[in-house]
Structure 1
């Protein structure tokens, strides 16, 4: 299932405030939908539209499901009308209006502050639940956004910028996203602070981007190497790294827009590791359609890790692969007793070590068992499948492994997926 959003937003950075009026078009009728919204945002109007008629809906706070740990918000249940006068309503059309401030995670929470509206920078994504983030469907969405902001600000979003107009007291920006994506992300800052260079992969404040531009020439080459292996990226959007002042929470990729809190280290001894981290985020352009709400997400993270490590080994030719295998084994051992990959979802603390470390070692083990060249070719084929489909699963990946590499390779992989305990399984 998917949802299409049409959002009209007004952001007032000096006040830290947001107002949104919008429509959600939900493709499959159900009796109830669950959404997460930041606790600092208050609903004003919510209704259902059927033809020319506006119907009330039942909207209430609920605890019937636990909000995934990576979302900072409260859970709301919305009951819609799926049938009227004997006619089934499809799609469901919900109109809504809300506003307020983006509240940080509650005190004592281990969650990093991933979303904020400040006088000198704005970062909004699903993590701060600035829009109604759906939980009752696989979170793939299309969107249209109209944003009203200060006249002297510039903005980025994970969609195609179709227009921007500057007036005396405001500016109006619009974006469209016609491909299925898993988030709506908005980033903004004052023009006077902005580094805007069409020849650079980096976007952000001049102060933060100045040190990052040293990576431009490397990203250009690495992106080309990845496309030669994996095929065209799963988005037509230009690749850019958006550097934000956030210090915690790491990086995330949204349709070619890699949002990085604090930027990357520039010390020479960390150079190769930084290139691998950047490549990992780029690789999500191929594999990001595995749902973060199920264990299938291991496919996205493990393949991004595998492909980025192998491509940097190709690029630097400095024994990078063997050193990363050693380091990953050490980090996995340090993580201790872990549940099986099949029994984890991304919001669980153990998933990072299981998906990244054990997942990479799983893929590397199968690669070594069948031959690196043959395995990499299969991964390239899977990457092309991923970009042509709206979602991917662990099962679809295993099916291709069996088809291309045989039942033994699939069985080997499934033993890894079912293994719980310390380190790696004995095969």
Structure 2
């Protein structure tokens, strides 16, 4: 299910306030929807528009489903009038809300991934700053208009089409799984069209050492995997957040705290950077199903192999050994098929076991043939609305035969310690 968001926002960094008026166009005619909204944001009005008429809706907080831990908000059930169901082919919800972005509850043990502060703004689905559909399978296009301080600069995971009168406007016509917005005071902003990095001068200065590497690694990835799954320029947004790591959104990689610059960590950092770039190809595997292992394992596999091609130093062997060690430390794990991204065990299962699975298949035949299939699958991913594990396994069987697929099925079903014997 794809939706379209039209959001008109006002952000006050000095007071940490957010006000949003908007519409959601849902291309199905149904009567009930579930959304997550940050606990610090309060609804002012919600209604349904049918042609030129506005109709009331029922909006109630609910616990009928468990909100995934990575969403920081309450679950709301919105029900429209049943008699309006057949009058139009899509449902249009109008709304207004305002307030502040509250951090996660202390007992959640989750990092604060979204905030509005005097010196920086970082907003994504994790902070539920917009009504987030409960299922990340819901992809969206959007248009945002942002009214903020005149002396700030902003960016989003869409195309900026206007900055007139301090009102920034972005469009995203492709289907994406989030609406991400970042901003900072202009006087403190690092602005360099030749650099991949975006953020405050104090945080970005040290990161520019990676610009040359990123340019070459991106070129190598595109030669292998084809054009990235977005036309947006690649940029790395360095935020002051110290926890929560990095996440990728349609060409924009958000990095909490930046990357370490010690020489001894260079190869590992390049692999981490490449991993995030790789999500531009594989990100359409839903984190609400086990299919997400495809995204994470392929991002890990492709980034490791490309960095090994780039730096040598037997990097691939060291990463395989590290993955084995980390998987051993993780102890008993459920099978990959039984996990979703929200589960604690999914990290070790998807990143380590999934990465080792792909290397095992590569080593069972000609690695050049396997890499060629990965490249073909990457091109398939950018042309598809969503990707699944079965799509990947079907292509493996078609190109490499039944034996590699059978091996992968065995790994995906394996539970317990380590890898299948």
Task: Report TM bin, short chain.
Answer: over 0.9
Q: Please say if 1:392 is aligned against 2:391.
A: no
Give the Cα–Cα distance (whole angstroms) in 1 for the partners of residues 264 and 136 of structure 2: 44
Q: Decide which of 152, 171, 174 is 2:169's aligned counterpart.
A: 174
Match of 2:360 in 1: 365
Instruction: Report how many residues are paired.
Output: 421
Q: Any conservation in 1 of the 2:58–2:78 contact (CA below 8 Å)?
A: yes
Match of 1:338 in 2: 333
In the alignment, which residue of structure 1 is the partner of 2:122? 123
How far does the alpha carbon of each residue in 1:59-103 deviate from its partner, in whole angstroms, 9 at most, with x for none? 10000000001100000001123553x834321000000000000
Deviations 1:36-72 (A, max 9, x none): 0000000000000001111101110000000001100
Match of 2:371 in 1: 376
Which residue of the partner structure matches residue 12 of structure 1?
Answer: 12
* SS at structure 1 position matched to 2:164: strand
What SS class does the counterpart of residue 317 from structure 2 fall into? Answer: helix
Which range moves more in the overlay, 236-245 or 104-113? 104-113
Aligned to 2:66: 66
2:136–2:286 CA contact under 8 A, matched in 1: no
CA distance in 2, matches of 1:137, 1:281: 18
Task: Give 2:306's aligned residue.
Answer: 311
Distance 1:137 1:218, change over 3 A: closer
Change (3 A) 1:390 1:83: farther
Alpha-carbon distance in structure 2 between the residues aligned to 1:152 and 1:82: 47
Q: State yes or no: 1:419 paired with 2:414.
A: yes
Match of 1:50 in 2: 50
Does residue 245 (structure 1) correspond to residue 244 (structure 2)? The answer is: no
Q: 1:272 aligns with which of 255, 262, 267?
A: 267
Is 136-145 or 346-355 further displaced after alignment?
Answer: 136-145
Aligned 8 A contact 1:139 1:183 in 2: no
TM-score by length of 2: 0.99
Distance 1:31 1:306, change over 3 A: same
Cα distance in 2 for residues equivalent to 1:251 and 1:100? 26
CA–CA distance in structure 2, aligned partners of residues 293 and 330 of structure 1: 27
Residue 129 of structure 1: CA displacement? 0.2
TM-superposition CA deviations, 1:144-201 (whole Å, max 9, x none): 00000000000010000001024xxxx1100000000000000000001000100000
Aligned pairs for 1:71-86 (under 5 A) are: 71-81=71-81, 83-84=83-84
Relative distance call for 1:94 and 1:137 in structure 2 (3 A) is farther
Whole-angstrom CA distance in 1 between matches of 2:199 and 2:136:
33
Q: What do residues 267-293 of structure 1 show as CA deviations (whole Å, max 9, x unaligned)?
A: 000000000000000000000001111
Which among 175, 183, 191 is matched to residue 186 of structure 2?
191
Which residue is equivalent to 1:109? 108
Aligned partners of 2:304 and 2:319 also within 8 Å:
yes
Structure 1 range deviating more: 24-33 or 294-303 = 24-33
Cα deviation digits, residues 370-412 of structure 1 (max 9, x gap)? 2110000000000000000110011111111111111111111
By how many angstroms is 1:14 displaced?
0.3
Distance in 1 between residues matched to 2:41 and 2:136, nearest whole Å: 22
- What is the CA deviation profile of residues 210-251 of structure 1, one whole-angstrom value per residue up to 9, with x for unaligned ones? 000000000000000000000000000000000000000000
Q: Aligned equivalents of 1:423 and 1:146: distance in 2? A: 49
Q: Which residue of 1 aligns with 2:156?
A: 157
Of 197-206 and 106-115, deviating more is 106-115
Partner of 1:222: 217
Contact 1:33 1:136 in 2 (8 A): no
Superposed CA deviations along residues 275-313 of structure 1, whole A, max 9, x for unmatched, are 000000000000000111111110000000000000000
Give 5+ residue unaligned stretches, structure 2.
none
Secondary structure class of the residue paired with 2:288: coil
Aligned residue for 2:250? 255
CA distance in 2 between counterparts of 1:301 and 1:138 reads 16
The yes-or-no answer on 1:201 pairing with 2:196 is yes
Find the counterpart in structure 2 of residue 95 from structure 1.
94
Question: Where do 5+ consecutive residues of structure 1 fail to align?
Answer: none
Kindly state the Cα deviation for residue 137 of structure 1 after the two structures are TM-superposed: 6.7
Asked if 1 retains the 8 angstrom alpha-carbon contact of 2:136 and 2:288, the reply is no
Write the distance in 2 (CA, Å) between the matches of 1:317 and 1:136: 41
